[in-house]
Chain A
Amino acid sequence: MNSCAAWAATPSTSTFSNASTPAREVNDLSLFVLTISAGIFLGVSVLLVYALFRYRARPGDTTEPPQVFGSLQIELAWTIIPILIIVMLFLGTARVLFSVQDARKPASAVDVTVVGHQFWWEFHYPQYNVVTANELHVPVSSTASPRPTFMKLTSADVIHSFWVPQLAGKTDLLPNRVNEMWIDPQSTGLYVGQCAQFCGMQHAKMLLRVYVDSPEEFQQWIARQQKAQTEISAGTQGAVSPTDQPP
């Protein structure tokens, strides 16, 4: 295939290579949780190995070790410290949940309705009266001029899941239900993903491409998509004469 070179240069699908606020917040949270968990694991492991080594049975030592029956300090410590850790994890998680799920939609946001099908994606842009498929175009969003894309997701048949790892977590597309998510990619380019919920025989080839365009490119793309095909054919092709247009 002649386009193999371009085809092979696939963008990252790593969840650790974030390009959008929801993905970054979830990634930061998971690193925070991982750090705390790793700290606990290391602390417990070191103490365990120390105790095993320090208090191992030595040849000739037949004395009974000290028998401890209850200790208020120790019991308080191993109750209160885990509670503090849990509270910390809970607050961190709740903060990310609310900041991602309850994010206020700015007036500049682009609305997209995503409809999952076996085995392709339908994208509607209600503000622009544009319908397209499989390749989503969104404008780049910066802190100076935020322009996030807010999506409503539903399905025409079975359950699908929208997942572009660099941009946000997965969101399921369910028949007869509308889920919501948003992305605010901060650099232009191509981001790829795929359906993340087994949806039938061709699930593995239900791929997703998100093009993050500069504001000008996005405007041009929208303008192009808004044109009905007859306007283009009549103007440039010459193959379809105006008299052929349906009434």
Chain B
Amino acid sequence: MRFPPPINPHDGRIVFEQQACINCHTVTGTVANGRFGPDLTHLMSRATLAAGATPNTPENLRVWIDDPNIFKPGSLMPAMHLTGRQNDQITAYLLTLK
């Protein structure tokens, strides 16, 4: 019996940088240098997500990435239709941006 490998932030970073995330978001020191969305370099230093729409908890962060319209209908960030595993990986990566 084989289990999928554990979620790790490094894979999340790869997904983040290979998807459209980096077109809009900046993480200083990486290839992500988009300007349409909020700078995520120190996302975890913030108490809220989506301009105060919801508290910045790991669960909320994952829900937000999965579909921003849940917390903020009409948000200009699109749902990227990633797999659950990719969402977990991106969440794991973003949680390291302290």
Contacts and interface: CB of A to CB of B under 8 A. Distances in A.
Interface string A195-214: 00000111001111100000
B26 A205 contact: no
Nearest to B32: A229
Chain A residues touching B, majority SS = mixed
B72 A1 contact: no
Nearest to A135: B46
B8 to A, nearest CB: 6
A219 interface: no
B5 interface: no
Interface magnitude class on chain A: 35 or more
B45 A208 contact: no
Interface string B2-45: 00000011100100000000000011111100001111011001
A89 B51 CA distance: 39
Nearest to A123: B39
Nearest to B30: A229
Given A3-B55, A135-B46, A239 B10 contact: yes
B53 A205 contact: yes
Interface in A87-137: 117-122, 131-135
B97 interface: yes
B48 A202 contact: no
A224 B41 CA distance: 10
A120 B38 contact: yes
Contacts of A6: 55
Interface in A203-247: 205-209, 221, 224-225, 227-233, 237, 239-240, 244-246
A233 B51 contact: no
Contacts of A200: 74
A2 interface: yes
Contacts of B53: 205, 207
A229 B52 contact: no
Contact of B55 (A1, A132, A134): A1
A55 interface: no
B47 interface: yes
B9 A239 contact: yes
Contacts of B55: 1, 3, 6-7
Q: Which 5 A-B pairs have the closest CB atoms?
A: A207-B52, A228-B29, A201-B74, A133-B38, A230-B29
17 contacts: A119-B74, A119-B76, A120-B51, A122-B38, A131-B39, A134-B46, A134-B51, A202-B73, A208-B51, A208-B52, A209-B47, A229-B97, A231-B29, A237-B96, A239-B9, A240-B9, A244-B13
Interface of B: 8-10, 13, 26-31, 36-39, 41-42, 45-48, 50-53, 55, 57, 60, 71-76, 96-98
Given A7-B55, A205-B71, A224-B98, 12 more contacts: A117-B36, A119-B75, A120-B37, A120-B38, A134-B51, A202-B72, A205-B52, A207-B52, A207-B53, A228-B29, A231-B29, A239-B13
